[in-house]
Structure 1
Amino acid sequence: MAHRILCVDPDEDVRETTVDKLQSELPDRDLRFETAGTLADAERKLTTATAAVVTEYELPDGTGFDLIGTAQTACPDAGCILYTDTDPDTIDTAELRGSITEYVGKDSIFGRERLSKLLGTTIDTRVQATYPVPQTETERLAALRSYDLDNPDLLSSLDRITDLAADYFDVDRASINIINEHSQDFLACYGDAQDWESMDREDSICTFTILEDDDVMTVEDVTEDPRFETRSETLIDMGIRAYMGANLITSNGLVIGPLCVYDDEPRAFSAADEAYLQDLADVAMDLIELHSRLDGIAEGTEGEP
C-alpha cells in the first residue's frame, strides 16, 4: 500500500530536491509524493489517505500552520513536519502542539537526514496504529520473500488443501493467504473466494490471526467483534460472517499467513475443528518448504553434465 506524502514549499527547486532526497533515503517505503507551492493548492490535495505532510512555514497565501490546521480535519492520522527556513523562536507552536511531528530547520547541517528519519518514523507509527504488527515482523517478511510462491505445481497443491478445508467445514469459501508488508494476497482459493483480489492489510482479518499465540483464530460473528467494527460491512459483502484461520508456520517459527475458512452465517468452531484446520495448515507449510528446497536443489544442479 503506497503512502501518500504531501510536500509543500513555494520554491519549486526545493520541492523537487526534497522529494528526490526522501525517495533516495527511504527506498524500502512505498511512498507516493504529491507537491504544492501554495496553501490553497495543498489544501485541495489533502485526503484521508494522506499519511504525512512536510511543509514550509511561509507560504504565499498563508502559513504551514494553516495547512496543519486543515490537515487535522482532512486527515487526522497524518503526521505533520515543519521543514522550514523560519527561525523557530519566531513561531508560536502552542496552538498546534501535538499536531506537529517535529520542527526541522532546512539550514541545519543534518536537516535533510533528520527529515528522512522523521518521515520514516511517522510512516511506521501510522501503519502500526492502523493494524497490529508482530514483534518478529522484519524476520517474518524476510522468510516470506525467501519462498517461490508463484510455482504452478505448488499452487495446484495448495488449491487441493483449500478444497479439503471447504469440504470438511461445508463452506462456500476457503483460502490460503499471505500477509505482506502492507497487503494480504491470496495464494489459493476455493469457491467464491476465487474472485477476491489483493486487499490492504488494514482491511484484513488475517493480520490479526498471525498474532495468535495459539496459532488459530476463530470469530463466531464479525459484527460482534470490536476489532472489525469498521470493517464488518465490507466483510459481510464478501460473504464473511464467521471466520477461522490457522497459521502457516515456518520451520523457524515464523508465520507467513493463514489457511482460512469462511461462513456467511454466525458459527461456532470446536477444538476438534481448530485442530483439523491447523493440521491442514501444517501440510500447506510443509509443501511450501518442500518446493523451496526442491527449487534450490534444481538451481544447484543447473549446468552439471
Structure 2
Amino acid sequence: MSRTILCVDTVDRVGAVSTAIDTEEAFEAVEATSVEDAHAILDERDVVCVVTGYELDDGSGLEIVQAIRQTAPQTPCVLFTDISPGEIDTASFEEVLLEYINRDLPDAYDRLTFIVEDVINHSAQVSFLKPDDEQERLDALEQYDIDELPIEESFDRLTDLIASHFDTAIAFIGLVEADEENIVACHGGDWDRLTREDTICTHSMLQADVMVVEDLREDKRFSENPHLANLGIRSYAGANMTTSDGHVIGQVCLIDDVVRTYDAEERHELQQFAETAMEILELRQAALGTRTVEAVQ
C-alpha cells in the first residue's frame, strides 16, 4: 500500500516536488497549489507527510502545517523552500516543523525523498502523544509490583466476562509503560506487548471519558497505521484505569474486526469494568504489602 504525501507549492513548482516524491515506489504524491486546496485535501484524504513551500499565493505553508497539527499532530512536515530560515516568520507558529530543506541546494530533490522517508519512519518509531503528567503517571505505575502481584487469573476472568458481555472479538487490560503497553490479560488474542506508537490506548488515555473509534479506516489518526491493519482491528473502545491520585496507568479495551458503535450505557459499563480492574490491582497490591510486613516481623 503506497503512502500518501501531500505536496504543496506554487503552480510552477509543485510538479517538480511531486515528481521527486513519486520516484519512491512506496509514496504517492498528491498536489495542492494553495492553502485552500491543501485544506480541502486534508479534509478528504489521509496523508503520512506534508511537504510544503513557504510562500503560497494565498498564504504561508506554515498555515497548512498548523492545520494538520490540529487533527493529526504526529504527522511529519517538511518545509521545502529557497527562503532562508532567518526570513521565515515563525512567531505565530510554535514548534510546527520537523524538517527544513533549502531547495536551492544542488542535491535538494534527492535529499527531499530521503528526508521524507526518514521523518515518516522516525515518526512511526518514536512519536506519540503523552499526558501532561507523564512522569508522575509512570511513577504511580511503578508503585505496583506487577510481576509479584497475583492478578493474572483475576484479570483473565475479567476479560472473559467483558468480551462475553459486549459480544466483542477481543477484550484486554493493558498497563501503559514508558514505551510500551503491557497487555496483562487478553481474551481473543495472543497479545503480550504493543509499542505505544502502535497502540490506540496512547490516544484513549488522554481522554477523560471512554474513547470509541467506530471505524479505524475512517479515522485519520489510525487509518495509515499498517500495524493496526495487520492485527485486523476495525473498531475500538477504551476506558481509563485511574489511580486514586488521578493518574491514568492503564486501559480496559474492546477490539473488533467489524465496525462497532457503543451507546452511552455501554460506555458507562465499560468504565465500570475499568474501575473494577483498578480495584483488583489495588487490592492485590495492598495484600502484597501486608504479606511483606508480616514476613519482616
Residue 204 of structure 1 pairs with residue 247 of structure 2: no
Match of 2:213 among 206, 216, 219: 219
Q: Which residue of 2 aligns with 1:180?
A: 177
Give the total of aligned pairs: 190
Q: Which residue of 1 aligns with 2:290?
A: 297
Alignment of 1:1-305 (within 5 A): 72=115, 75-76=118-119, 130-151=127-148, 153-191=150-188, 193=189, 195-214=190-209, 216-231=210-225, 233-304=226-297
TM-score, normalized by length of structure 1? 0.57
- Two-structure CA RMSD over aligned residues (Å): 2.8
**Could you report, residue by residue, the CA deviation over 1:257-283 in whole angstroms, capped at 9, with x for unpaired residues?**
110111110011111110111111101
Contact between 1:239 and 1:262, CA under 8 Å: does it hold in 2? no
Give 1:76 deviation, angstroms.
Answer: 3.2
Distance 1:189 1:283, change over 3 A: same
- CA–CA separation in structure 1 for the residues paired with 2:211 and 2:287: 31
Distance 1:140 1:152, change over 3 A: closer
Give 1:148 deviation, angstroms.
Answer: 1.6
SS of the counterpart of 1:139? helix
In structure 2, runs of 5+ residues without a counterpart are 1-110
Give 1:69 deviation, angstroms.
Answer: 8.7
Contact between 2:175 and 2:184, CA under 8 Å: does it hold in 1? yes
Give 1:130 deviation, angstroms.
Answer: 1.7
The one-letter amino acid of 2:234's match is: R
Give 1:247 deviation, angstroms.
Answer: 0.6
SS of the counterpart of 1:165? helix
Contact between 1:173 and 1:189, CA under 8 Å: does it hold in 2? yes
Give 1:295 deviation, angstroms.
Answer: 1.0
The one-letter amino acid of 1:76's match is: V
- CA–CA separation in structure 2 for the residues paired with 1:128 and 1:173: 25
The one-letter amino acid of 2:180's match is: S
- CA–CA separation in structure 2 for the residues paired with 1:141 and 1:160: 26
SS of the counterpart of 1:228? coil
The one-letter amino acid of 1:248's match is: M
Contact between 1:217 and 1:246, CA under 8 Å: does it hold in 2? yes
- CA–CA separation in structure 2 for the residues paired with 1:296 and 1:152: 10
Distance 1:127 1:76, change over 3 A: closer
- CA–CA separation in structure 2 for the residues paired with 1:247 and 1:266: 22
Q: Which residue of 1 aligns with 2:23?
A: none
Give 1:200 deviation, angstroms.
Answer: 1.3
Contact between 1:236 and 1:264, CA under 8 Å: does it hold in 2? no
- CA–CA separation in structure 2 for the residues paired with 1:197 and 1:302: 32
SS of the counterpart of 2:178? coil
Give 1:128 deviation, angstroms.
Answer: 11
Distance 1:76 1:238, change over 3 A: closer
Distance 1:127 1:213, change over 3 A: farther
**Could you report, residue by residue, the CA deviation over 1:163-184 in whole angstroms, capped at 9, with x for unpaired residues?**
1110011122110011111111
Give 1:197 deviation, angstroms.
Answer: 3.1
SS of the counterpart of 1:196? coil
Distance 1:76 1:172, change over 3 A: closer
In structure 1, runs of 5+ residues without a counterpart are 1-67, 80-125
Distance 1:242 1:69, change over 3 A: closer
TM-score, normalized by length of structure 2? 0.58
